[in-house]
Structure 1
Amino acid sequence: MFKKILLVDDDESSNFLNETILSDMDAAQVIEVAQDGIAACDLIGSGSCPELIFLDVRMPRMDGFNFLERLSTMEVCPHTKIVMLTSSTRSEDRQKALQYENVLDYVEKPLTEETVKKISEEYF
């Protein structure tokens, strides 16, 4: 079980479903939700360091890639790992995401119990 997971997605339905799946699995003691990269940066900047972030690529205000760039300059939460959870099937997005050191994987929505178990077993 993780201490803290952060969901970053502008789609409220996706956040609700993902939070439900994670809660039903008892995957984390704490599950936080941010509607975009700016809100996620605010949470992390306030000292909230999740072990794992599920990050969408396409969001208004600050997308997933801009969040990754900003996080790399914030010098906080060095051990936080990220899984891109997105509906984007563009191979360019996948390649770009996996260039970031803290990005573990790039998976397509929806989040499933199998995906969470796989990530937990392979990377933690």
Structure 2
Amino acid sequence: MKLNTVCIIDDDPIFVYGTKVLLNYNSSFCSNIIVYENGKEALDDLRFMLKTNKEMPEVIFLDLNMPIINGWEFLDELKKMDLKKKIGVYVVSSSLDKMDEEKSRKYDMVIDFISKPLTANKLQQLLVATEGKSL
């Protein structure tokens, strides 16, 4: 199963670049990549997509520590949205705090917590796992 749209929400340009390279290299993962530098940009655009019946991303790679609206605030707002279909969220963080991983699991839309960096091997595992779940 190839995803149509994947969203990266992260303020680290090196992580964003590396993730885009991995996603583009593994062209069987997705067709489109949307990037936001913070949770506010992403929420504003997702709300617009919802309001205008545009296709929403199937998967989001979400950083926790960002300016303006962080990953936790983004998740809190996302769960309030009246989504027509589930968006799978992978929290991708450099946090070593086990509490962050535990907290992320309390959100229904979070599929997994991934420690940075995202690797080609991990991306392949996600592709296999995503094929087994209906988003």
TM over 0.5: yes
Structure 2: any 5+ residue segments left out of the alignment? Answer: 50-54
Checking the alignment, whether the CA contact within 8 Å between 1:85 and 1:106 is kept in structure 2 is yes
Which residue does the alignment assign to 1:30?
32
Could you give the per-residue CA deviations for residues 71-103 of structure 1, whole angstroms, max 9, x where no partner exists?
011212531100001100101100000110010
SS at match of 1:46: helix
Which residue does the alignment assign to 2:44?
42
The reply on whether 1:97 has 2:104 as its aligned counterpart is yes
Which residue does the alignment assign to 1:2?
3
TM-score (norm 1): 0.94
Q: Distance in 2 between matches of 1:15 and 1:102?
A: 21
Amino-acid identity (%): 27
For residue 41 of structure 1, report the CA deviation from its aligned partner: 0.6
Q: Distance in 1 between matches of 2:17 and 2:71?
A: 19
Could you give the per-residue CA deviations for residues 25-78 of structure 1, whole angstroms, max 9, x where no partner exists?
112110000001001112211215111000001111111110000001121253
The reply on whether 1:75 has 2:73 as its aligned counterpart is no
User: Match of 1:91, as an amino acid?
Assistant: K
Within-5 A mapping of 1:51-90: 51-76=58-83, 78-90=85-97
Which residue does the alignment assign to 1:120?
127
TM-score (norm 2): 0.87
Structure 1: any 5+ residue segments left out of the alignment? Answer: none
User: Match of 1:7, as an amino acid?
Assistant: I
SS at match of 2:80: helix
Structure 1 window deviating more from structure 2 (71-80 vs 85-94): it is: 71-80
User: Match of 2:96, as an amino acid?
Assistant: T
Displacement over 6 Å in runs of 4+: none
